[in-house]
């Protein structure tokens, strides 16, 4: 058994059975091993950003890591942006990167690069396999590291000779490290704040607290104590829709966020971090939390927030509380395409169990309220702010949640960074509906330019206008095997969305907004 074979066997025994890949020469023995060993689903991406973003979306839905397979140096580099996003989402990924043979590296062949150095910026765990006999053990360690709470990227670098040499040994799965529990004083402090009561108590939820159980517990606490609930600005996965407790998110725009958090005097964090603004701006605050607000950490990001919420609910003795009834699902929108008519249409038509992969950026900032009484669904944000997370995340989510429809709400500018994801959706016949908000500009940057006090002239506008030429989205998706169509009214969108939900496989809808 060679090193690559011991690696594949170990991954499978550790429960990793999906590999998103864009291999190169140094990964050929790994690919050959995949041939000989049944059980690993291999999914090809035509660009590494598709591979890493798909691994992010997959793990969020599957609840376990996928492996990636990337080429050395620049191959990894192309995947870094979506690994950065995955890092911010605390997504477990077993990130396998090939490299030159150990004895070839010193020769500085053209592809030689600082693979390990580039990996460090996104990985909680990095190891270069240096001996064929321990590649299996390294792989088991990578899976364990990836799954260590709250989830992280474990990068295993595989020099080609440790891959091809004979002498590989399959390693047993390592035990999963349970998420640490909140300490008693964390529960006591939050309970004391809530018992004292008064205005301005905000319970901010993040990570696993935004699953159905965490939200239900938070709602019980809120119903009994009167504290506000809110979610972080972007979240890996939020359980939403009928029967679930709806929470607003901390807004992206600084002034809006400051307003949303005004009056907060006690901030209790459950799996969330203290909000900071995405960017600094001249003469604006860099947190939306009012000065003087007191901070209480019920559960740190790596601690189990659901368990902490349960203990807090017990400590407070709060009674059960049913999720609020937010009324019937919205009706499909009519007339012009607006954020409201689009959100209503999505909310009206999405099937039960839908997965929303959201990289709608500016256009989608108000989608949350209008979809809270839709059918039960999961909502995934791109975290980390690296552009182009949406289409790959949708691709991976569809593989991690078979049988559920994925709706990718997608800004046009961002989609262009990783547009190759459409090809993978076509090849794998994934049930993904991509909705492109085709405003033909970097709308967010126009807002940011105003935010920094600049008044754009011709050159600046040209840098933010992605029309001239306009991108023809149905043609672009068709060129990669995904049928698509354009709508410029809410009714037209509703027709296309309903059509896409009835048919298997991917579909793209361009909305001229």
* Residues between 156 and 195 with contacts to a copy of itself, criterion CB under 8 A: 160-161, 164
Is beta strand 238-240 parallel, antiparallel or unpaired with respect to 377-381? antiparallel
> Comparing C-alpha atoms, which of 442, 448, 446, 464 is closest to residue 281?
448
Interface pick for a copy of itself out of 260, 350, 476, 497 (rule CB under 8 A): 476
* Residues between 12 and 51 with contacts to a copy of itself, criterion CB under 8 A: 21, 23-26, 28-29, 31-32, 34-36, 40, 42, 44, 46-47, 49
Interface pick for a copy of itself out of 9, 59, 61, 118 (rule CB under 8 A): 118
Write the binding mask 362 to 401 for a copy of itself: x where contact by CB under 8 A, - elsewhere: ---------------------xxxxxx-------------
| Residue 28 Cβ vs a copy of itself, minimum distance, rounded to whole Å | 5
Q: How many CB atoms lie within 10 A of CB 313?
A: 20
Residues ≥6 apart with Cβ < 8 Å to 308: 181, 182, 186, 187, 270, 298, 299
**DSSP H or E run through 315:** helix 305-316
Q: Under a CB-based contact definition with an 8 Å cutoff, are residues 265 and 294 in contact? A: yes
Stretch binding a copy of itself (CB under 8 A), from 82-90, 172-180, 291-299, 325-333 = 82-90
Stretch binding a copy of itself (CB under 8 A), from 167-175, 262-270, 322-330, 412-420 = 412-420
- Partner residues linked to 275 by β-bridges: none
Residue 480 interacts with a copy of itself (CB under 8 A): yes or no: yes
- Partner residues linked to 154 by β-bridges: 94, 125
Q: Under a CB-based contact definition with an 8 Å cutoff, are residues 398 and 386 in contact? A: no
Cα-Cα-Cα-Cα torsion 51, 57, 63, 68, nearest 10 degrees, comes to: 10
| Residue 329 Cβ vs a copy of itself, minimum distance, rounded to whole Å | 32
Interface pick for a copy of itself out of 1, 13, 74, 173 (rule CB under 8 A): 74
Q: Which is nearer to a copy of itself, 111 or 258 (CB)?
A: 111
Residue 88 interacts with a copy of itself (CB under 8 A): yes or no: yes
Interface pick for a copy of itself out of 325, 403, 459, 504 (rule CB under 8 A): 459
Expressed in percent and rounded to 5, the helix, strand and coil fractions of the chain are: 40, 20, 40
| Residue 263 Cβ vs a copy of itself, minimum distance, rounded to whole Å | 22
In the structure encoding, which two tokens stand for residue 32, read together? Answer: 């050959």
Stretch binding a copy of itself (CB under 8 A), from 116-124, 212-220, 293-301, 306-314 = 116-124
Task: List, edge to edge, every strand of the sheet that includes 266-270.
Answer: 228-231, 201-205, 266-270, 294-299
Q: Which is nearer to a copy of itself, 43 or 306 (CB)?
A: 43
| Residue 416 Cβ vs a copy of itself, minimum distance, rounded to whole Å | 4
DSSP state of 336: B
Stretch binding a copy of itself (CB under 8 A), from 115-123, 235-243, 254-262, 312-320 = 115-123
| Residue 251 Cβ vs a copy of itself, minimum distance, rounded to whole Å | 14
* Residues between 222 and 281 with contacts to a copy of itself, criterion CB under 8 A: 234, 276-280
Number of residues that bind a copy of itself (CB under 8 A): 99
| Residue 387 Cβ vs a copy of itself, minimum distance, rounded to whole Å | 7
DSSP state of 371: T
Q: Which is nearer to a copy of itself, 144 or 155 (CB)?
A: 155
> Cα-flanking dihedrals φ and ψ of residue 365, to 5°?
-60, -25
Interface pick for a copy of itself out of 12, 146, 318, 426 (rule CB under 8 A): 426
* Residues between 298 and 337 with contacts to a copy of itself, criterion CB under 8 A: none
In the structure encoding, which two tokens stand for residue 471, read together? Answer: 């991108």
* Residues between 132 and 161 with contacts to a copy of itself, criterion CB under 8 A: 160-161
Q: Which is nearer to a copy of itself, 8 or 487 (CB)?
A: 8
Q: Tell me the CA distances in angstroms from 145 to 59, 124, 206, 257, one per residue in order.
A: 14, 8, 21, 35
Residue 449 interacts with a copy of itself (CB under 8 A): yes or no: yes
> Comparing C-alpha atoms, which of 273, 317, 277 is closest to residue 295?
273
Q: Which is nearer to a copy of itself, 118 or 326 (CB)?
A: 118
Q: What angle do CA 282, 285, 288 make, to 5 degrees?
A: 145
Interface pick for a copy of itself out of 188, 198, 402, 479 (rule CB under 8 A): 479
Stretch binding a copy of itself (CB under 8 A), from 145-153, 180-188, 264-272, 415-423 = 415-423
Q: Which is nearer to a copy of itself, 177 or 461 (CB)?
A: 461
Q: Which is nearer to a copy of itself, 261 or 350 (CB)?
A: 261
Dihedral sign from CA coordinates of 146, 298, 249, 313: positive
| Residue 112 Cβ vs a copy of itself, minimum distance, rounded to whole Å | 9
In the structure encoding, which two tokens stand for residue 172, read together? Answer: 């047993």
Q: Which is nearer to a copy of itself, 340 or 472 (CB)?
A: 472
Q: Under a CB-based contact definition with an 8 Å cutoff, are residues 469 and 443 in contact? A: no
Q: How many CA atoms lie less than 13 Å away from 56 in the CB half-sphere?
A: 36
- Looking at 311-416, which runs of residues are DSSP E strands? 354-359, 377-381, 406-411
Q: Which is nearer to a copy of itself, 110 or 335 (CB)?
A: 110
> Comparing C-alpha atoms, which of 348, 489, 360 is closest to residue 435?
360
């Amino acid at each position: 058994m060679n090193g690559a074979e011991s690696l594949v066997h170990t991954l499978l025994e550790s429960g990793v059975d999906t590999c998103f890949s864009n291999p190169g020469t140094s990964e050929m023995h790994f690919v050959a091993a995949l041939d000989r060993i049944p059980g690993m689903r291999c999914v090809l991406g035509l660009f590494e950003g598709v591979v890493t973003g798909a691994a992010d979306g997959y793990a969020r839905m599957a609840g376990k890591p996928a492996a990636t397979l990337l080429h050395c140096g620049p191959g990894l580099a192309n995947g870094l942006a979506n690994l950065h996003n995955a890092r911010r989402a605390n997504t477990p990924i077993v990130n396998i990167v090939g490299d030159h043979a150990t004895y070839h590296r010193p020769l500085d062949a053209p592809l030689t690069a600082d693979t390990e150095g580039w990996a460090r910026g996104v990985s909680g765990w990095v190891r270069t396999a240096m001996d064929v006999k321990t590649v299996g053990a390294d792989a088991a360690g990578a899976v364990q590291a990836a799954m260590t709470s709250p989830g992280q990227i474990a990068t295993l670098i595989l020099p080609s000779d440790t891959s091809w040499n004979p002498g590989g040994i399959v390693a047993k799965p390592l035990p999963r490290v349970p998420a640490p529990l909140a300490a008693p004083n964390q529960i006591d402090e939050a309970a004391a704040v809530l018992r004292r009561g008064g205005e301005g108590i905000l319970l901010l939820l993040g990570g696993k607290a935004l699953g159905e159980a965490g939200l239900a517990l938070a709602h019980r606490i809120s119903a009994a104590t009167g504290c506000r609930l809110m979610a972080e600005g972007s979240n890996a996965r939020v359980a939403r829709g009928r029967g679930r407790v709806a929470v607003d998110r901390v807004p992206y725009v600084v002034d809006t966020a400051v307003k949303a958090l005004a009056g907060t005097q006690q901030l209790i964090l459950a799996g969330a971090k203290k909000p900071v603004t995405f960017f600094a701006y001249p003469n604006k605050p860099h947190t939306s939390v009012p000065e003087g607000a007191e901070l209480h950490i019920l559960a740190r990001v790596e601690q189990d927030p659901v368990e902490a919420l349960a203990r807090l609910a017990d400590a407070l003795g709060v009674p059960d509380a049913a999720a609020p009834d937010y009324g019937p699902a919205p009706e499909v929108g009519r007339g012009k395409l607006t954020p409201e008519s689009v959100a209503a249409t999505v909310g009206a038509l999405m099937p039960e169990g839908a997965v929303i992969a959201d990289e709608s950026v500016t256009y989608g900032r108000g989608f949350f309220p209008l979809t809270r009484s839709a059918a039960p669904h999961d909502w995934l944000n791109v975290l980390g702010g690296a552009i182009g997370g949406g289409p790959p995340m949708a691709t991976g989510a569809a593989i991690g949640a078979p049988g559920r429809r994925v709706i990718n709400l997608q800004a046009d500018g961002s989609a262009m960074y990783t547009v190759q994801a459409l090809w993978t959706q076509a090849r794998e016949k994934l049930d993904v509906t991509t909705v492109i908000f085709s405003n033909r500009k970097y709308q967010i940057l126009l807002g940011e330019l105003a935010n920094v006090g600049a008044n754009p002239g011709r050159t600046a506008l040209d840098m933010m206008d992605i029309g001239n030429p306009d991108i023809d989205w149905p043609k672009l998706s068709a060129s990669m095997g995904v049928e698509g169509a354009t709508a410029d009214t809410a009714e037209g969108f509703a027709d296309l969305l309903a059509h896409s939900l009835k048919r298997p496989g991917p579909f793209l809808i361009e909305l001229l907004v």
